[in-house]
Amino acid sequence: MAASPADLVENLENQGVRFSVHEGRLRVSAPKDVLTGDLRQRLQDWRDDIVELLGTRQGAPRGSAPSITPVDRRDRLPLSFAQQRLWFLDQLEPGSAEYNVPMHMRLGRDIDVAALHAALTAVVARHEVLRTRLVAGRDGLASQVIDPPTEVPLPVVDVSATADSVTVTRRLVAAEAAAPFDLAAGPVLRACLIRLGAAGHVLAVSVHHVASDEWSGRIFHRELELLYKAFRAGEPDPLAPLGVQYADFAVWQRSWLTGEVLDGQLAYWRRQLAGAPVLELPVDRPRSRVSDGPGASVGFVVPAPVADRLKEIARRNGATMFMTLLAASAVLLGRYCGQDDVVVGAPVANRNRAETDDLIGFFVNTLVLRTDLSADPTFTELLGRVRDVALGAYEHQDLPFEQLVDALATDRDRSRAPLFQVLFNYDPAAPADGMPAPGGAAGPDSRNGLPLDTSPPVRFDLVMGLGEIHASGELVGRIDYRTSLFDAATVERMAAHLVNVLTAVAEDAERRVGDLPLLSVAERRLLLAGWNDAVAPLPGVGGAHDLVAERVRQHPDAVAVVCGGASLTYAGLWERAGRLAGLLCAQGVGAESVVGLCLERGVDMAV
């Protein structure tokens, strides 16, 4: 345990935590699973001391960044770097729903539709980015055009009288999530309220990724609930005004991330990713020339005792649960691909500044993490490597992924995502059930009755995610995959193999990664015994040539040798071998003679 504020700060910084002071307030940015309840309390207790300590530091790169301030809305408002890339992709594939973000909510039966409508309109009015269009100018460059607040349409669809309201609702939700957005014409957010009758309601909301991310989704749900409760009770808007908006962040990002700041970030990533390989996943079907979007998911569970041991391993090695699970996933991917250099992507919230905490917008960034499996390290040694890579990435997370792609992905392969093919994520607080929603609970069905998985497009070959259910202590996992590349059975096996690796690590983290088993006991038995149970009595013969001769007699037209597109039947092999034997005899070759071979790889080598 840290004995002083300085020790606490040093310990947390070694785990990727960043500290800053903004207008006298301590700001802490940490990887998802670092700050336990005890650490948060100690930060609170020592807040003033830590602020004073940070004030004595000089020359911290982040402290030199200017504050985000409001800009004149009469000026041209540029896109953020993240928005710019999605706008460009939208120009390449107009009408694509690949970057639609569904934010559906299960609601109860007792809904005040007018209050809900007013709350939705208020959220959109509060956040400019939700009423922003991306419009290209005469120079071809897009900029943000912010529309004034207006009433947000909220059509109500009543399916309570249909024979199967649940199925109809699923179809409506899926159709809503798949409908494309027109970024230039707007809007970038749509909503529809579906009434199921006794089963309650579903608020189907879709927003384009240019205006939202996962963090934004939480803000949206939280503010919608607060506003709904206030309006239903006849109270005023309870939310404090926002100091800045997403457009202000975009201007700040463009002005700050230039010159030496940009060059320093780029230099790190160029060194880190020099010579990084493509992850060659064993797919079930060939890739198309352009990456396909449709996807599906496979879920799995890691038992609580295994999860507890993994947490202990992380703590003992000064790492986080994210790093530990990433290391295990890298072992799995390395074994599947036959590679000891594994590159994956990982999302970070990228809200390192106090001004962005309460903003809806596209802030999330993606880090490219490279894992070195060479020399068959122990798992704890591998965890140390992963920790070092992750901490370096956290220190250089300000460079937008879009800038990194432009700098490094010079040879674009549209059948793959640039720089990495697998995205990995860990959520230390995965919800065991739905977030509280307006209208009150709808009873048990609000949690278990209506699955709303619309199978959104998958932008990478695989998306591997794990999260912790605090009520049970289990880890829940999900692998999203491209159905154009993988069969469900393949991904189900992969998920089971990941659980096997995690279980083996929990049992002994000092094992070498090459010794960590992927296969279950049943799979090993099937491979070694079940599929190899082909014992046959050996006939009484004088040598291998007699076995071939017997095979020629029984199955002369069966294929004996295959190489590429060429093949030989047993009869053909026997005939060609006889001719070659005759030729060698004519040259004086006899028993015990040594004859050298100089042949290209092919069917003739078997002759």
480: CATH: 3.30.559.30
- Rounded percentage of the chain residues whose pLDDT exceeds 90: 58
Q: Are residues 171 and 200 in the same domain?
A: yes
- Cis omega (within 30 of 0) for bond into 148: no
Cα–Cα dist 398/213, whole Å: 17
Q: Are residues 479 and 337 in the same domain?
A: yes
Write the CB contacts of 390 (distance below 8 Å, at least 6 apart in sequence). Answer: 16, 31, 320, 322, 323, 326, 369
Q: Are residues 243 and 101 in the same domain?
A: yes
Instruction: Say whether pLDDT at 534 is over 50.
Output: yes
Cα–Cα dist 598/605, whole Å: 9
- Rounded percentage of the chain residues whose pLDDT exceeds 70: 89
Q: Are residues 27 and 159 in the same domain?
A: no
Strand order in the sheet with 142-146: 77-78, 142-146, 132-136
442 within some domain: no
Alpha helices in 364-487 (DSSP H): 379-395, 401-408, 445-448
Instruction: Say whether pLDDT at 313 is over 70.
Output: yes
Host domain of residue 493: 271-282+292-431+453-528
Q: Are strands 566-569 and 559-563 parallel, antiparallel or unpaired?
A: antiparallel
Strand segments, DSSP code E, in 469-532 are 475-482
Q: Are residues 334 and 360 in the same domain?
A: yes
Q: Are residues 548 and 524 in the same domain?
A: no
Q: Are residues 278 and 354 in the same domain?
A: yes
Cα–Cα dist 181/187, whole Å: 7
Instruction: Say whether pLDDT at 120 is over 90.
Output: yes
Mean pLDDT of 397-404: 92
Q: Pick the last residue of a domain from 17, 34, 64.
A: 64
Q: Quote the pLDDT of residue 144.
A: 98
Mean pLDDT of 419-438: 68
Radius of gyration of the chain (CA): 30
359 within some domain: yes
Among the listed residues 436, 431, 443, 446, the one whose alpha carbon sits nearest the alpha carbon of residue 202 = 446
Q: Are residues 343 and 476 in the same domain?
A: yes
102: helix, strand or coil: strand
Q: Are residues 114 and 45 in the same domain?
A: no
Q: Are residues 136 and 225 in the same domain?
A: yes
Q: Are residues 415 and 275 in the same domain?
A: yes
What is the pLDDT confidence band of residue 587, given thresholds at 50, 70 and 90? confident
What is the pLDDT confidence band of residue 468, given thresholds at 50, 70 and 90? confident
Q: pLDDT, tens digit, for every residue of 160-184? A: 999 999 899 999 999 999 999 999 9
448 within some domain: no
Q: Higher confidence at residue 329 or residue 413?
A: 329
258 within some domain: no
Q: Quote the pLDDT of residue 440.
A: 39
Most confident segment among 393-397, 447-451, 488-492, 561-565: 488-492
137: CATH: 3.30.559.10
292: helix, strand or coil: coil
141 within some domain: yes
What is the pLDDT confidence band of residue 354, given thresholds at 50, 70 and 90? confident
Q: Are residues 29 and 170 in the same domain?
A: no
Q: Number of helices (H) and strands (E), helices first, in the chain?
A: 18, 18
593 within some domain: no
Q: Pick the last residue of a domain from 64, 93, 108.
A: 64
Q: In terms of residues, how long is the chain?
A: 607
537 within some domain: no
Domain count along the chain: 4
Cα–Cα dist 570/567, whole Å: 10
444 within some domain: no
28 membership: H or E segment, kind and range:
strand 25-29
Burial of 598 (0-12, 13-18, 19+ CB in 10 A): exposed
